Amino acid sequence: MSRVLRRTAFIACAGVALLIGCGSSSPAPLDRATDAHGGGVGSGGVGSAGAGSADPGDANAAPDVDCDGLSAELQGALDAAVEAQRLPGAAAAVSTGGCRWLGAAGVADAEDNVAMQPDDLFRVGSITKSFVAALALMLHAEGRLSLDDAVSRYVDGVPRGEQISVRQILNHTSGLFDFTSCDEFWSAALDDPTHRWTPAELVALAASKPPYFEPGQGFAYSNTNYIIAGLVVEAASGEPVGELLRARVIEPAELAHTYLDGAEAAVPGLVHGYGRSRGQLVDTTSAIDPSAAGTAGALVSTTGDLTRFYRKLLDGTLLGPAELAELTTWVDAPLGEVNGYGLGLSRRESQLGVEYGHDGSIWGFTSSSYHAIDSDASITVLVNLESGDAGRIVDELSNVLIMP
């Protein structure tokens, strides 16, 4: 098991599943842009009212949309993707043109051959970062923290914390070393998989290594940033981050199946996650305690909840106009298909137009969730294989939506 975990992704960089600690994403020069928005197999179904139904929450639903036909095409594409990538399973959600489709393919438990269901729970890795950034922006709106505050105002033990701003933590321009690139972290995590990590331990690991660059002088995706971000919002609010997430984001967005693992009681129904060793599946669902991911990647959710979250994050339900502008102030981010990173949010080009969301990878799982504002299309894909390519499936489902 340790050989599988050591060479596969832990908490992936936005935009592409990369090796441990996002090591293949070299630090890049900082290029800030200030434009906001303007700049089992066959188990799918559409809508809560049954296959082929229009989304009842979409007042602009087109009356001539063939939701039944779209459902069949999306399910076929998902089935084909699971087969092509040799995945144990995957679940997906698509919302567009008045149709809402939830689908699944493959298995949630390979040993007992349990079919995947559209509303199954997955670890979603770095998608957690969008939730934590939303919290920070809410506190910013209330004057409880400033994005330009030094992190040393809230958190002790951060190297050059007096020079690093909260904003630089949230958009990965701090230069802080990624603790998931530390051999010491992996040795300890694999020697004692039940060890409960404290944020201070994870920050100390990063502090033992030299920074990538001076604060604000480049971009380097680092999970350390979001461990610190969790500590910042706790210090600014005086509340535990798990309780804050539930009260300020999860419940207001009506996310019925989402929780921060390790900070809240687990909800039954988490699918099994897998790695591969010598061509064989290895169950890595609980290979490391979720505290090792914390506010950088410990969230558990469903395709439906994540699709709802990004829509509400971007439509002004959760954040006001000023905070949305901060959220979508981009720095150049050379992360695969991602070409910009805001505050816990990725931007990428697609055939549906500019998309906003995030990708994630954690032991046993990969994830990708994006919303294209101009085309009003949302796609979320969750995969229970840590070497799976959820983002590729997002693109394949996008192709279905643009077919004549």
Q: What is the pLDDT of residues 100-109, one digit of tens each?
A: 999 999 999 9
Can you say whether residue 181 is alpha, beta or left, with left for phi > 0 and alpha for psi between -120 and 50 degrees?
Answer: alpha
Torsion sign across C-alpha atoms 242, 245, 251, 253: negative
Question: Distance (Å, rounded) from C-alpha 87 to C-alpha 85?
Answer: 5
The position carrying tokens 């594409």 is 77
Return the beta strands (E) in 180-289 as ranges.
259-260, 274-277, 280-283
What number does CATH give the domain 2-9+21-402?
A: 3.40.710.10
Q: What are phi and psi of 41, to 5 degrees?
A: -55, 135
Domain spans in the chain, listed from the N-terminal domain onward: 2-9+21-402
196-254 pLDDT, tens digit per residue, is: 999 999 999 999 999 999 999 999 999 999 999 999 999 999 999 999 999 999 999 99
Least confident of 10-19, 181-190, 303-312: 10-19
DSSP, collapsed to helix, strand or coil, labels residue 349 as: strand
What per-residue confidence (pLDDT) applies to 403? 75
Q: Quote the tokens at residue 53.
A: 């139904």
Say what the pLDDT of residue 199 is. Answer: 97
Report the catalytic residues. Answer: 126
Confidence category of residue 399, pLDDT binned at 50, 70, 90: very high
Q: For the full predicted model, state whether its pTM sits above 0.85.
A: yes
What element of type H or E holds 359? strand 353-362
251 vs 37 pLDDT, higher one: 251
